[in-house]
Chains A and B, each alone.
Chain A
Amino acid sequence: SAVISQKPSRDICQRGTSLTIQCQVDSQVTMMFWYRQQPGQSLTLIATANQGSEATYESGFVIDKFPISRPNLTFSTLTVSNMSPEDSSIYLCSDRTGSYNEQFFGPGTRLTVL
């Protein structure tokens, strides 16, 4: 499987500011995704990061709040905009690779909004 890294690993931010999270994969992958994991909860898909086009967002998530870029097949960014304490979560990047389209996750970015 491809190795996924994320930066930053954690951050503490003030209300009203924005944070951009970077996701780097060590090989080209077709599909990349962004998930949110609220404290003690399961994983919720935010959007599919499409290379060279706008991301596809799931219900309840909008581009103005979570703009996503995917300039190439190895890199994507997720921005959490105009943050509030309710955005405090772990944000996870993932890809699908392998013979059977298995999904793998990065280490996550732990965001705390004060």
Chain B
Amino acid sequence: GENVEQHPSTLSVQEGDSAVIKCTYSDSASNYFPWYKQELGKGPQLIIDIRSNVGEKKDQRIAVTLNKTAKHFSLHITETQPEDSAVYFCAASRVQFYFGTGTSLTVIP
């Protein structure tokens, strides 16, 4: 089955700096790669996703890139704000969703 690895497990950045979280996957048949943000006490919220026919997607301060050859994808958050502090999960899917182990992001004011 699919195996998704996510790094780093924790990340601290100064407010205004950029944050990058990386994931790798093993199944070349995976074709959908969502990212979720989970704030304390809440369920995961879908923040951005990318499909295998696209290399990059951007939505305001967040962007996701996909390298199908290397089987890795990354979340980029620019101009970070304290409210970006949360746990972020990546996932890879063809039918079933396989989740990464999460990255706890702390944005220091």
Question: Does the CB pair A103–B46 fall under 8 Å?
Answer: yes
- B54-85 CB contact bits vs A (8 Å, 1 = yes)? 00000000000000000000000000000000
The closest CB in chain A to the CB of B100 belongs to A42
Collect the chain B residues with CB atoms within 8 Å of residue A92's CB: 43-44
Question: Does the CB pair B89–A42 fall under 8 Å?
Answer: yes
Report the contact-size class of chain B (Cβ under 8 Å from the partner): 20 to 34
Question: Does the CB pair B102–A42 fall under 8 Å?
Answer: yes
User: Taking chain B's interface residues, is the majority helix, strand, or loop, or is none over half, making it mixed?
Assistant: strand
| CB of B51 within 8 Å of the partner chain | yes
Question: Does the CB pair A102–B99 fall under 8 Å?
Answer: no
Residue B101 contacts which of A42, A45, A101 (CB distance < 8 angstroms)? A42
Residue A100 contacts which of B32, B43, B91, B100 (CB distance < 8 angstroms)? B32
The closest CB in chain B to the CB of A48 belongs to B96
Question: Does the CB pair A107–B42 fall under 8 Å?
Answer: yes
Residue B97 contacts which of A100, A103, A106 (CB distance < 8 angstroms)? A103
A-B contact pairs, 25 of them (CB 8 A): A1-B46, A4-B43, A41-B101, A42-B99, A42-B100, A42-B102, A43-B89, A43-B99, A45-B96, A45-B97, A100-B32, A100-B51, A101-B32, A102-B34, A102-B46, A103-B46, A103-B91, A103-B93, A104-B46, A105-B36, A107-B42, A107-B43, A108-B42, A108-B43, A110-B41
Interface residues of A (CB under 8 A from B): 1, 4, 41-43, 45, 92, 100-108, 110
